[in-house]
Structure 1
Amino acid sequence: MSAADLSGVTWRKSVRSGALGNCVELAVLQGDAIAMRNSRFPDGPALVYTRAEIAAFVAGARDGEFDDLLN
C-alpha cells in the first residue's frame, strides 16, 4: 500500500470545532477517497477512507449511534 499524496489538498473542519482548533479535518482526494487528520498535528499522519465509508460514519453519527461515547 502506498501513501496518499496530500500535497495541495484543501482541508475542511466543522464550524463547531473548538477555538483551540481541536478538531478533525477532512479533504477530498482524487478518485473515491477522503482523508481525515487531527488539526492539532497538520503534518502528522492522515487516515484515508472511501466515500462510502465516510457516508456510513456520518449516517451513524446523525442517527445517534455514537452518542454513548460522549457520556
Structure 2
Amino acid sequence: MAKLAKLHRSQNHRIIAGVMGGIAEYVGWSPTWVRILFFIISSLSVAVPGILIYIILWLVMPKATAESYQ
C-alpha cells in the first residue's frame, strides 16, 4: 500500500470521499479497520455526530494527487 506523505483524501481507498482511506494511508493501517473504528467511536459519541466530523474532514482535507504518494 502506498503511504501518503501528508494527510490527504485517498484516491485509491475511497467509498464516499476518501477521508477514512486517506487517514488509513497516512497512518499505515487498513482502511477497513479505520472505518470500523470511526463507526464505533461515532456511535458512542452523543455530543458530536460522526457525520459532522466526516463532513468537516471532507471539506478541510485536500484531495490526494499522484505527487502526494511517495
TM-score, normalized by length of structure 1? 0.31
Greater relative contact order structure (CA < 8 Å, 6+ sep):
2
Larger relative strand fraction: 1
Larger relative helix fraction: 2
